[in-house]
């Protein structure tokens, strides 16, 4: 066994993914902040745009709530609640409108029975269980019982599966958002900035998936090393 267990040569696999993740986080922050200062011509807030799109698609049973946090926006399919952060809920910028429309895109997916979203929602409890237990089991395997590492790898694989399934869900929600915004809610000159915001946000999901895949490969190599 290498000293400190987890810090063998396999760790080099993580470096490119981590660097890309850092780039993605920086990209979404700078892009969002840039277009947060560009007011949409309509002057509507993110909450108002979200309500309009929901009504236009017959989703009158979806509530909109204001939540704390920065870019903490999300759609809760269990409660049919669209939660928007302060900058999005109250903001009338191109960035605010774009993010609000993206989250409504998830509500439209839910209403239409979009299969990748259903699959992701079904896997979510398993992935949550795996994210909590995978690493403790790996540590137990390294220092007490090596067989626990393989169990940790299996649980972490569920986390990675969830991340992979998340990608088409997020890209599809952005496409739905842009289709709605192009239909009279943003001018043609505002669509491109909104798309930049959504693409930057999507990049963070790609980065997280790449880190997850690299980490899984690393754990598999580590498991084989301990056999």
Active-site residue set:
103
β-strand pairing of 63-67 with 74-76: unpaired
Sheet hosting strand 74-76, strand order edge to edge = 63-67, 81-85, 74-76
45 and 96 in contact (C-beta within 8 Å)?
Answer: yes
Which tokens sit at 198? 């959504």
Which tokens sit at 150? 């393989």
Q: What is the SS3 string spanning 167-202? A: HHHHHHHHHHHHHHHHCCCCCHHHHHHHHHHHHHHH
Count other C-beta atoms under 10 Å from residue 195's C-beta. 18
155 and 216 in contact (C-beta within 8 Å)?
Answer: no
175 and 109 in contact (C-beta within 8 Å)?
Answer: no
Which tokens sit at 199? 């693409």
Is residue 27 packed enough to be buried (19+ CB in 10 Å), middle (13-18) or exposed (0-12)? middle
């Amino acid at each position: 066994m290498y000293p400190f267990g987890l810090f063998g040569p396999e760790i080099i696999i993580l470096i490119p993914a981590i660097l890309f993740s850092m780039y993605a986080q920086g990209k979404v922050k700078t892009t969002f902040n840039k277009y947060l200062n560009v007011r949409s011509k309509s002057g509507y807030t993110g909450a108002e745009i979200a309500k309009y799109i929901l009504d236009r698609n017959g989703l009158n049973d979806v509530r909109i709530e204001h939540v704390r946090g920065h870019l903490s926006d999300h759609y809760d399919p269990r409660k049919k609640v669209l939660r928007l952060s302060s900058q999005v809920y109250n903001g009338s910028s191109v960035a605010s409108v774009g993010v609000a429309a993206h989250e409504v895109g998830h509500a439209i997916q839910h209403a239409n029975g979009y299969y990748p979203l259903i699959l992701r929602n079904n896997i979510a409890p398993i992935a949550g269980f795996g994210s909590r237990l995978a690493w403790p089991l790996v540590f137990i395997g390294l220092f007490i019982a090596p067989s626990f590492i393989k169990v940790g790898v299996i649980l972490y694989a569920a986390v990675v599966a969830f991340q992979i399934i998340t990608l088409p869900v997020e890209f599809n929600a952005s496409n739905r958002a842009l289709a709605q915004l192009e239909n009279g809610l943003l001018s043609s000159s505002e669509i491109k900035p909104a798309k930049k915001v959504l693409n930057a946000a999507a990049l963070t999901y790609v980065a997280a998936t790449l880190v997850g895949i690299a980490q899984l490969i690393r754990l598999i190599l580590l498991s084989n090393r301990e056999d």
